[in-house]
Structure 1
Amino acid sequence: MSIQTEKTMKVRKNEALRKKIYTVVFGSDTPGGRLFDRVLLVLIILSILSVFLESVASLRAKYLLYILIAEWLFTAIFTVEYILRIYSSEKPAKYIWSFYGLIDLIAVLPAYISLFFGGAHYLVVVRAFRLLRVFRILKLSRFLDEGNILRSALRSSMYKITVFIASVITLVTIVGTLMYIIEGDKSGFTSIPVSIYWAIVTITTVGYGDISPQSPLGQFLASILMVIGYGIIAVPTGIVSVEMARATDEARKKCPYCKASIYPAYARYCSNCGKELTQDENAA
């Protein structure tokens, strides 16, 4: 057998191995893929649980060694899994910079960072993001559709919400500065940043009570800010609600004749043009 033939066979074997790994690691339509994903979800939950247990002082004192062994075992497994995903991907760079690729990387980094910065390993709780795969694994396509609607609504609301937040920041800056001038150090408003903190706490109706105005003018200004706060809460809710309704309407089935939305999805006739919908059109 020639050297060229041996190289060709080796390349083919590597390609076949890569495809097998890809089917198991990325696919959920095969028994092996489903088993891999379910075991992975269990390991993710257990790894997050181990971090929770370590934060409990009594358990940490008794079982620290076992918890650390478990954490590093989980980290090793997830590291190998991440490497396999890169190796088996047809376009590794695309996977690495994808949403799930970045989450998979972030899931293993805290453990290694903790070797240099103590306490960083607690950040492995970001592995909870990897549980989002449960929707793909369990074929919960309805939840995926609803998730896409929510994402579309938030994306459409981004500019409106940005303007709204900028307006709120301007308001609390002005009110905080006024309160610093009115109340001063004697009431706890020791600086403009502290006064702005008070304004944010007040306008969001949290009201910690650690700082409060004492003068009549300061209390009057605080009362106005509290009332404004209740109105402000409704603004982002209304923005997102409108965009959610629009995104939901766009996601509905369309009539093949007049292109109007079909609602409810199981309707036999189009509510706009009145034409009968076939079974295939209704289920499409």
Structure 2
Amino acid sequence: MTAESPKKNWRDRLHEIIYEADTPLGKQFDIFLIILILFSVVLIMLESVKEIDVKYHDQLLFMEWVVTIFFTIEYIARIVCIRQPSKYIFSFYGIIDFISTIPLYLSYIFAGSQVLLAFRIFRMLRIFRILKLVKFIGEASQLKQALKASRTKIVVFIYVVLILSVMMGTVMYLIESDEAGFTSIPRSIYWTIVTLTTVGYGDIAPQTALGQSIATLIMIIGYGIIAVPTGIVSAEFAGNYRKKGSKKKAKAKTIEKRVHLNTQVCHHCTSEGHRDDATHCYHCGGLLND
């Protein structure tokens, strides 16, 4: 055993806790991390409420510093226990971790930058590792393909809705008076879009009988319009399933049962989602347990 072995074992152990969720300590660390992220986001929200910030500003700032220091230590630990730090630093999660840590430090240089701490909510994406939702990535890919295949139809649909909004907005501008809130065609188009999407803020409302009749028609059309994009995407989604055929479905199920992916993260390139029987990383070829 060489003198470097203890250091290597320490780094490997730290790597296992921080990067992986298959071990008890790894799961506990990730769950604690998510709780801390949520707690931090709640702190940011409370600080934005003037009445609470005036009364508890010092306490909120102290708790935010405690959270920030923990995240700073965690960020440094992630860099230390990886063989190629740049792979983590410039990865998606690495950039998110950095963005969620640095704002409070920057607030002493640039006023107001601490509000960027709300970006910590993006770190909740790590929950996919804890809940082992890797198997749903295939479903997400199919949804992406369905959206891509139906993008032309959706664009045409939006185009028609915009034309309808301009037409009905112009009509409402001609029918209604300025007192009712229809002071210009753009403002009338705004009301039409709000009504058509069934949001209905109520800040503008038609006063004439004809205007109210048209508004009723727009509301009814709005309910029908809501179902159109959903139907387009659903049809494409169902079509993709039919194209695969029953044989491919059966084969996919067999493969899914036979191959199990874990949350083990490569020490070299930080790639995750390896098979239980894998000895080398599928991305860089490095040993997983070297």
Fold match (TM-score > 0.5): yes
Distance in 2 between residues matched to 1:24 and 1:241, nearest whole Å: 41
Question: Which amino acid is the alignment partner of residue 82 of structure 1?
Answer: Y
| Shift in Å, 1:98 | 4.1
Structure 1 segments unaligned to the other structure (5+ residues): 1-8, 266-279
2:71 alignment counterpart? 78
**TM-score calculated relative to the size of structure 1:** 0.69
Q: State the alpha-carbon separation in 2 of the partners of residues 117 and 167 from structure 1.
A: 45
1:81 partner amino acid: E
Larger relative contact order (Cα-Cα within 8 Å, sequence gap ≥ 6): 2
Alpha carbons of 1:128 and 1:151: their partners in 2 closer, same or farther (altered >3 Å)? farther
Per the alignment, residue 134 of structure 1 pairs with 127
Equivalent AA in structure 2 for residue 50 of structure 1: L
SS of residue matched to 1:223: helix
Quote the sequence identity (%): 47
Work out the CA distance in 2 between the residues paired with 1:86 and 1:247: 42
Q: Deviations over 1:143-181 (max 9, x none)?
A: 555555545544544444344333323322332233223
How many residues are matched? 255
Distance 1:34 1:149 in 2: 29
Does residue 1:283 correspond to 2:271, yes or no?
no
1:245 to 238, 241, 256: 238
1:262 matched to 2:236? The reply is: no
Letter in 2 for 1:261: K
- In structure 2, C-alpha distance between the alignment counterparts of 1:154 and 1:234, rounded to whole Å: 15
Distance 1:13 1:165 in 2: 62
CA separation of 1:263 and 1:175: change in aligned 2, threshold 3 A: farther
1:142 is displaced (CA, Å) by 4.8
Which runs of structure 2 are paired with 1:65-104 in the superposition (5 Å)?
A: 65-86=58-79, 88-89=81-82, 95-96=88-89, 98-104=91-97
* CA displacement 1:237-257 (0-9 Å, x = unmatched): 21232344356667x8x87xx
Q: Which whole-Å CA distance do the structure 2 matches of 1:102 and 1:240 have between them?
A: 33
Matched, 1:46 2:25: no
Aligned partners of 1:249 and 1:261 also within 8 Å: no
1:234 and 2:208 equivalent?
no
Where structure 2 has 5 or more consecutive residues not aligned to the other structure, the ranges are: 259-290
Residue type of the alignment partner of 2:222: G
Q: What are the residue-to-residue correspondences of 1:16-35 with 2, within 5 Å?
A: 21-35=14-28
Q: Distance in 1 between matches of 2:178 and 2:86?
A: 56
Does structure 2 retain, via aligned residues, the 8 Å contact 1:82–1:105?
A: yes
CA RMSD of aligned residues (A): 3.9
Q: Give yes or no for contact 1:198–1:211 (8 Å, CA) kept in 2.
A: yes
Q: TM-score, normalised by structure 2?
A: 0.68
Deviations 1:215-266 (A, max 9, x none): 444334333322221111001221232344356667x8x87xxx3423995x
Seen in structure 2, the aligned counterparts of structure 1 residues 173 and 97 have a Cα distance that, compared at 3 Å, is farther
Other structure's SS at 1:242 match: helix
